[in-house]
Structure 1
Amino acid sequence: MGQTRLELLDPGPVTAIAPYPGADVSAALAPLGLAFPSSGAIAAGGAARLIWAGRELAFLLGVEPPAALATEAAVTDQTDGWAWLHLAGRDARAVLARLTPLDLRDTGLATGTSARSTIGHMQAIVIRPAPEAYELAVFRSMAGTLVHDVTEAMRRVAARAAL
């Protein structure tokens, strides 16, 4: 719609990783070539992505977690718990700006970073994989609301551009 596209995103397996207090998950993540991300960071290697998802929490996307990780962290399958969308196009930032309080400028949510925030009234994870693209994740029960809210914002941004 307009200068944006909204598509369903399949991130593959989604696993929450919360290191135990004082634990070091580096050795367990080494087979994936990933390090536990700092606040807002994303680590990627091959099909795997490890995104910051909150304080002492990261989501492993795209691959199953190494078995050794379970001795150093709480590891929870989240695959069926989240709905993921991909929003892209020249007006993607303008669309998302209508829905979230995040600073979406390059100096706020830079390409290759993630943030926890709200989209509308929903708790969300927002990832910026490319300059004109965002990945949006909300609890699965809110998927219909997310699609509605984003589609409505897309319609309004397109209408404004048509004036």
Structure 2
Amino acid sequence: MADLLEISPAEGLLPYATGAAELNELALGRATSIAPFKGQESAVEKALGVSLPDVGRSNGKAGQEIVWFSQGQFLALGLDVPDTLSKLAAVTDQSDAWCALELKGDASVDVLARLVPLDLRQSVFKRGHCARTQLGHLPLHITRTGNASFRMLSFRSMAGTMVHEITRAMDLFDARG
């Protein structure tokens, strides 16, 4: 039997920094998809002990939060989801499915402007705002986590491409001087 090694999605690719931007891999910890059954949103909130966020928003703090993930779907990050929740919602462990990256620094919005078709300026996309979009040609979930920081999630299998696209945009922006 082969010995399996546990590695992160962007193992050996990060950290990377240039100019006023830094890209790091994040350890999501436990990530659970929650899609409440019809009419069960309030019961799900009661079972979790926290309200579900509005569309395009996240609730909680780093390390323990629930983010809007798609229409009728939420992603619990770092939270212990009770087994009984499966009676109220479709619940799926997503812990190994995603590559999570953090881009931070004063140039983060300018770097992402080259890749993401959203207005990510802080006046529009505030802390705790999130969206499903694209990064180049990759599917992306993005959350503003601070004044100059973003958490980005894409499929684990796309980690290398995701890192390549972002670091290339960082280099091109920094080369402008």
TM-score (norm 2): 0.86
Aligned to 2:10: none
Aligned to 1:80: 96
Q: Percent identity?
A: 38
CA RMSD of aligned residues (A): 1.2
Gapped regions of structure 1 (runs ≥ 5): none
Aligned pairs (5 A) from 1:1-163: 1-24=18-41, 25-30=44-49, 34-44=50-60, 47-160=63-176, 162=177
The answer as to whether partners of 1:109 and 1:115 remain within 8 angstroms in 2 is no
Mapped partners of 1:46, 1:99: distance in 2: 25
The structure in which a higher percent of residues are helix is 1
Gapped regions of structure 2 (runs ≥ 5): 1-17
Aligned residues: 158
- Per-residue CA deviations over 1:88-114 (Å, capped at 9, x if unaligned) read 000000001100101112243211111
**Aligned CA distance change for structure 1 residues 121 and 132 (closer, same or farther; 3 Å):** same
**1:37 deviation in Å?**
1.1
Alignment-mate amino acid for residue 104 of structure 2:
A
Runs of 4+ residues deviating >3 angstroms: none
**1:27 deviation in Å?**
1.3
Mapped partners of 1:158, 1:98: distance in 2: 12
- Per-residue CA deviations over 1:11-51 (Å, capped at 9, x if unaligned) read 11111000011113121111xxx211110111115841100
Alignment-mate amino acid for residue 131 of structure 1:
N
Structure 1, 85-94 or 15-24: larger mean CA deviation? 15-24
Mapped partners of 1:125, 1:155: distance in 2: 23
**Aligned CA distance change for structure 1 residues 46 and 129 (closer, same or farther; 3 Å):** closer
TM-score (norm 1): 0.93
